[in-house]
Structure 1
Amino acid sequence: MPTKFCFNKSAPAAGVGLIRVVSCALGISSAVSSNVLAQDGADDKQKIQNVEITAPDTQSQRRQDSASKIVIARSELLQFGEQGLAEALKRQPGISVVGTEIRMRGLGSGYTQIMINGEPVPPGFSIDSLSPELIERVEIFRSTTAEFSAQAIAGSINIILRKNVERNTTQLKFSVQHGEAGLSPALSLELADQNGKLSWSLNTALTQNRSGSQPVTTETARDTQDTLTGLRRFHEDIRFQTDKFSMAPRLSWKLDNGDQLVWQNLLEYSQNSMRGNNHEQTELGQASDYPDNDYRSDANTRHLRSDLSWSHRFSPEIKLDSKVSGFYLRRDSDYFFDGYFRPAATSPFVRNVVSYAVDQNLSASGKLLMKLNDQHSFALGWDGGLVRRSEQRLQLDHAAGSTELSRLNEEYHADVRRLAVYAQDEWEISPALQAYLGLRWEGLNTAIRGLTMLPVDTRSSVFSPVTQWLWKLPGSDKDQLRLAVSRTYKAPLTRNLVPRRYTVNNANSPTNADFQGNPHLLPELAWGIDLAYEHYLSKDSVVSLSTYWKRVDNITTFQLFRQGGEWVSWPDNQGRALIAGVEMDARFPLKWWWPQAPAVDIRFNLARNWSRVDSVPGPDNRLVAQVPVTGNLSLDYQRNANHTLGMNLNLQTGGYVRTAIWLNSYSSVNRSLDIYSLWKWEQGLQLRLSLLNVLHQPLVTAEGYTYQGNMLRSIETPRSTAIRLVLEKRL
């Protein structure tokens, strides 16, 4: 087999070592399970559903689909019991998570397209607000397809909300997590039933999440002789709390003429609060404007998404799929910043910012699918809509004694009209060769109007051809090659187009600058090639090796300048970037490698990403905040029919990046270890115990400015281990 070099079957000691690692890491859970399940022999005879790490149907989709994609089953998303989707996705091949931002190939900030049911999420939507309980599966597309928006230079992640309906399903789940900031409880309920041609489901989740952070910021300044001229440290203590209610109802009708009508919704309401304080220690040089300050904010968010889809078959060979979609997202926030001088205890400066942002979208799409024969199908489609964003921000600055210093009232609204038409051809040329050809035209018109700004009008359109090929190698039913060539793009974020100033509250500097949008930004355009080799060991086991190369024109970099005595950063199109990478993904049972091994499933993936920006001098002139290396090692040990243990070790590297001629940044390596233990009993009762971020490694980031001296601003954020308990009962 071409992949035998990846494994050493003659070294069973290595397999024993892996089991010992799991046993040591989960010693406490194993001891508990030994007491709870004292009669393994009797339990093994009971008909209890086993844990499935990867459902066979998802693996089959990956293998047979002409378009390259990875399908993540619901069971895998819920495996470690996380409350947020981002943490559940970080274990997947080529995906990294920075904060709560999900990135493919190390790239976020618009390079990775996030969709819900095939529709791009609104700009203000936080992917981590989605509970994994509401999700049916996740599809990861390394290359684009004509059916979806081509705003996917790094790739696309499509989140499919719960669809499958089981008759008379009632499932209740309660969980509680203990972390640095205290307890975080959650409750979810799943209901589903059928009545003739009508089926319905309702998934609800009620969560409260508490978290905390105590970052330490260090600022240093040196002159041209490298002599230290300034040193100050900021000690912060921040506490967050989010109370959220989510509901995803779904109705499906099978009509008499074979048509199907589906109405799917997502409703979310959340209240967020943040409290923090900052204490500065100035050891050398001048202190900041407000050495002691505290801040607080309260916000509430309402999100409504509704999709109505209709499928109609004109004949056995011709089918029409159409959908009308809409979403509404509103966020209201109230923010206070109090700055204090020393030694006075009074507050000489108070900043209050009251703001709201509203995102609305109405879209319609359709696809006419024509089956030419059993091996050949052709489709025509369209997708159009209006996205409207409104934002108002009132900033009031006060001195001691409530004397008003300044008032800033900023309001703007942006309308983004989009229209796309596409054609795609899927053809099984022979049993060994499949081809996918697609062409998409997508146009965007953006109009921005505001109180304190000049009108902004931009128009852009992109032709995005794509072709994907699947070749099953002769003489083998396990090996296949994939090739994809596509054109993708990244449209400017609305926030980056608005020429308004977002100011920092304290310590403005080259490494802590204000931000201002640029109305002249252009879309970034990319050509890309993806190549992959896949070897299927069995129905549920695969080893794949892939590589990619992309050229991005009109790359967006951030330029630094001074205005009115303050440092300001803004985005600008500057030249071209080259992006490349390799990725390895494997999942298989340990018995495939060592027949006498216990029931352990292994998943391993590793990805290396490179980039180079030609407008920035080297070295380290790669794209800002790109994650160079991501990797995961997962072990799942099914001790018996009632008990499963598992762990996942995640790696994300960082390093230095030169972001502009005088600017550079740094991020540390991030290693995290998660462990779970799952017990299952009769009548649909199960208990899951998880330890999250066992290594609790601190994170370090830094920004540097080098010109006639050096300024460095570094932030070290400690992290803690969380323990999570999930009790689930099928009623």
Structure 2
Amino acid sequence: MQKVEVSGANGVQQRRDDTASRLIVGRDEIVQYGDSNLAAVLARQPGVSVVGSEVRLRGLGAGYTQILINGDPAPPGFSIDTLAPDTIERIEILRSAAAEYSMQAVAGSINLILRKGSSSAQREVKFGAGRGDGRWSPLASLRAADKLGNFSYGVTAVLERTAEDAEVQTRERASDSAGQTVMLRQTSVRNASSVNKASLAPRLHWDLTGSDTLTWQSLFNWYRTGFNGNARETVLLGNGTDYPVNRVTSAASIFSGRSDLAWVSSFGAQGKLTAKLGFSHDQRDTDYDFLGHAADDAPRLRRAVLSDATDDSATSSGKYLARLGAGHALSLGWDGGLLVRREARHQRDTFADGAPPYALDEDYIARVRRLALYAQDEWDLAARLQMYAGLRWEGLRTSTSGRTLAETPTRSGVWSPVMQMLWKLPEQERDQVRLALARTYKAPATRNLIPRRYTVNNGNGPNNPDFQGNPALRPELAWGLDAAWESYFGKSGVASLSAFARRISDVTVQRLFEQDGVWITTPYNQGRASVHGIEADLKFPLRSLIADAPALDLRANLARSWSRVDAVTGSDNRLASQVPATFNLGVDYHATAQWSGGASYNLQTGGLARQDRFSGSYVGVRRTLDTYALWQQQGGFRLRLSLLNLLHQQRLQGQWYQDGQGASDSMTSTASGAVLRLLIERSL
């Protein structure tokens, strides 16, 4: 039997040949640094930034970047940290939209492809541990796959515990209308957190009689989180908060499950029908306790909160692909679903001074119905010119109701045309140009539709407000243009330069206001916004340029983005606190067949971002340096050592507010430490 070798170069080849602009992150690159979360993997990719656990394209989060799992939108409230890297086969980064996917991709989409079966027996075990902030984080995973006649299967199981301690320092300052400082205080916080996680990703595949196939694929995640935080405030000038000494403890139990059944039927060489039915269930139960004390440690308040949130969804999708001739294919499809979110919160406050206890019970239910119909046509107009055109209509119906809220319905429909072109330049084997035009949109997050009040425990103010959802939110609509030049050389070398622009209407902004002495922020639609930027990407083996050079693989990428919200006056009125720029520089060295290693440097800028004419936020520059070394032997034994976050830079984040009566600001610094990880891997 002829041996077929699959290498990372296939990702470069797919990127080159696809009409749509698509960057592929393969399995080898996902596991390269031994990362425990996908956010760290994605942070090294061109045009990708990470804020907390939120992954952003073009620096835009808050729903502008769409996360897909096997081509389907991730459930509401999904965090990319819940997916273990060992469950992912590859990652596709799509800079423009496609009609067959949801058009909720103003900034682009990140498609996470779960691991599939195997054409031969495959067994792999992995054990390891990481150490950072003086705490251990163990990991164990098992991968099994095989093919038995017309049946194949694959299953990945992961057990992991992560734990960290963090020291947080916050400085708050206020001044009067004359600029005289009237308040100055500092708060020291010590946070300890842990996450116990179990993941299971099974896949079963049957080759039925004829040319039909049936595939069942699921993903289950179990989480148990714990948090303990202690804060002590020091007043240098002016008044302190109500609870200058306080403690927060919380525990959360989280289950997330999704299951899809897909049937594919081929009609010879002329067409193929794909139909999929999916279900998902997400459940979060949280037990939260806040203890507030005076400066002399005398107790004042105990606030106990029990809350739960459940998301249930059912989806149906399908596509018929008709081949109309050589290099010409037409697809027609549908995509629909129903999402129901139930949320409840029960708060009990007791006071040490004998004041009457306070009780607050809230419950809400939100329903989101979605239906989409689309058609797309892809064909080769000439030997070096490929075109893609699509049209998608997507309708949304939402309704929100609760204990103190009458049902609030909304309805919207969006027509989304999309066109993409790939032109391989004449008499050039390596250079090509891309152009894409699409209309996309951003639907309101289910959490933002529910008018539940998320309250702060201590120090409510313009820089630390409560948050409340808005059931009247409408989708944001956007027109987008993408252009790129790409050059491919050697076996896997690529250089690209791209630019993009977006014009968004009904943009969502935050309204900050004071009500009965309490500061609140809430989202609402107002006006337009514009976004534009450039990206550069270079990746190649040094030997593709110098034949006798060392076995080095080099990569560098740079992204710079700008945005402006028309309704927000003043400077720094960036959209959704957009990350202005990212830069990555990396090198991999293959010393021998057994030894390899590498390093990666990441820079992510920040700065001021204005929320409205009176308030805004600040994020500091983030610098990260990661390294790894890999020793592998024949027989499938691998030893992987990683040193992560070697710069252990402090992270800065702040808020500010200024009006005619004075100004206030708050700046928080969070320490971070280096992490050592050792993984032992064995293929059986």
CA distance in 2, matches of 1:89, 1:500: 33
Q: Which residue of 2 aligns with 1:424?
A: 376
How far did residue 431 of structure 1 move? 1.3
2:229 is aligned, of 266, 276, 282, to: 276
Matches within 5 A, 1:365-376: 365-376=317-328
1:488 is aligned, of 412, 416, 440, to: 440
1:601 is aligned, of 526, 544, 553, to: 553
1:677 is aligned, of 629, 633, 649, to: 629
1:323 is aligned, of 276, 289, 295, to: 276
Q: Which residue of 1 aligns with 2:616?
A: 664
Letter in 2 for 1:139: E
Q: Which residue of 2 aligns with 1:464?
A: 416
CA distance in 1, matches of 2:651, 2:466: 24
CA distance in 1, matches of 2:344, 2:573: 37
Is the 2:117–2:146 contact (alpha carbons within 8 Å) kept by the matching residues of 1? no
Q: Which residue of 1 aligns with 2:70?
A: 117
Structure 2 length as normaliser, TM-score? 0.98
2:171 is aligned, of 192, 197, 218, to: 218
How far did residue 125 of structure 1 move? 1.9
1:722 aligns with 2:675: yes
How far did residue 91 of structure 1 move? 0.5
2:243 is aligned, of 285, 290, 312, to: 290
Matches within 5 A, 1:366-445: 366-400=318-352, 405-445=357-397
Q: Which residue of 1 aligns with 2:464?
A: 512
Q: Which residue of 2 aligns with 1:10?
A: none
Is the 1:453–1:500 contact (alpha carbons within 8 Å) kept by the matching residues of 2? no
Q: Which residue of 1 aligns with 2:121?
A: 168
How far did residue 166 of structure 1 move? 4.2
Q: Which residue of 2 aligns with 1:644?
A: 596
Q: Which residue of 2 aligns with 1:102?
A: 55
Render the CA deviation track for 1:466-516: whole Å, top value 9, x for unaligned.
Answer: 000000000011000000000000011122122221111000110101111
Is the 2:493–2:544 contact (alpha carbons within 8 Å) kept by the matching residues of 1? no
SS in 2 for 1:348: strand
Q: Which residue of 1 aligns with 2:10?
A: 57
Q: Which residue of 2 aligns with 1:357?
A: 309
Is the 1:124–1:329 contact (alpha carbons within 8 Å) kept by the matching residues of 2? no
Following TM superposition, the consecutive aligned residue runs of length 4 or more in structure 1 with deviations greater than 4 angstroms are: 401-404
2:141 is aligned, of 181, 188, 206, to: 188
CA distance in 2, matches of 1:577, 1:155: 17
Is the 1:181–1:210 contact (alpha carbons within 8 Å) kept by the matching residues of 2? no
Is the 2:626–2:643 contact (alpha carbons within 8 Å) kept by the matching residues of 1? yes
Q: Which residue of 2 aligns with 1:340?
A: 293
**Aligned pair in 2 of structure 1 residues 419, 387: CA closer, same or farther (>3 Å)?**
same
Matches within 5 A, 1:671-710: 671-707=623-659, 708-710=661-663
SS in 1 for 2:588: strand
Q: Which residue of 1 aligns with 2:426?
A: 474
Letter in 1 for 2:613: I
Letter in 2 for 1:58: G
1:158 aligns with 2:92: no
Q: Which residue of 2 aligns with 1:538?
A: 490
Letter in 2 for 1:215: V
Is the 1:237–1:278 contact (alpha carbons within 8 Å) kept by the matching residues of 2? yes
Is the 2:510–2:611 contact (alpha carbons within 8 Å) kept by the matching residues of 1? yes
Letter in 1 for 2:558: L
CA distance in 1, matches of 2:365, 2:454: 17
CA distance in 2, matches of 1:240, 1:181: 12
Greater fraction of residues in strand? 2
How far did residue 221 of structure 1 move? 0.4
How far did residue 248 of structure 1 move? 0.5
1:201 aligns with 2:180: no
Q: Which residue of 2 aligns with 1:309?
A: 262
SS in 2 for 1:640: coil
Is the 2:366–2:450 contact (alpha carbons within 8 Å) kept by the matching residues of 1? no
SS in 2 for 1:509: coil
Render the CA deviation track for 1:604-626: whole Å, top value 9, x for unaligned.
Answer: 11000000111111211111321
Structure 1 length as normaliser, TM-score? 0.92
Q: Which residue of 1 aligns with 2:568?
A: 616
1:446 aligns with 2:426: no
**Aligned pair in 2 of structure 1 residues 478, 402: CA closer, same or farther (>3 Å)?**
farther
SS in 2 for 1:229: strand
SS in 1 for 2:576: coil
Instruction: Point out where structure 2 has 5 or more consecutive residues left out of the alignment.
Output: none
Q: Which residue of 2 aligns with 1:7?
A: none
Letter in 1 for 2:550: P
Letter in 2 for 1:179: G
1:245 is aligned, of 180, 198, 213, to: 198
How far did residue 721 of structure 1 move? 0.3
Q: Which residue of 1 aligns with 2:183?
A: 230
CA distance in 1, matches of 2:468, 2:343: 15
CA distance in 1, matches of 2:171, 2:384: 60
SS in 2 for 1:505: coil
CA distance in 1, matches of 2:678, 2:356: 50
How far did residue 590 of structure 1 move? 1.5
SS in 2 for 1:455: strand
CA RMSD of aligned residues (A): 1.4
1:631 aligns with 2:583: yes
Letter in 1 for 2:359: R
Q: Which residue of 2 aligns with 1:40?
A: none
2:513 is aligned, of 561, 567, 572, to: 561
Is the 2:400–2:471 contact (alpha carbons within 8 Å) kept by the matching residues of 1? no
How far did residue 701 of structure 1 move? 0.9
CA distance in 2, matches of 1:278, 1:79: 38
SS in 1 for 2:649: coil
Is the 1:396–1:404 contact (alpha carbons within 8 Å) kept by the matching residues of 2? no
Letter in 1 for 2:107: A
Is the 2:243–2:294 contact (alpha carbons within 8 Å) kept by the matching residues of 1? yes
How far did residue 68 of structure 1 move? 1.1
1:147 is aligned, of 74, 78, 100, to: 100
Render the CA deviation track for 1:517-548: whole Å, top value 9, x for unaligned.
Answer: 12221111100000000000123110000000
Moved more, 311-320 or 100-109: 311-320
Q: Which residue of 1 aligns with 2:525?
A: 573
Letter in 2 for 1:704: W
SS in 2 for 1:650: strand
**Aligned pair in 2 of structure 1 residues 327, 402: CA closer, same or farther (>3 Å)?**
farther
CA distance in 2, matches of 1:360, 1:530: 35
1:655 aligns with 2:607: yes
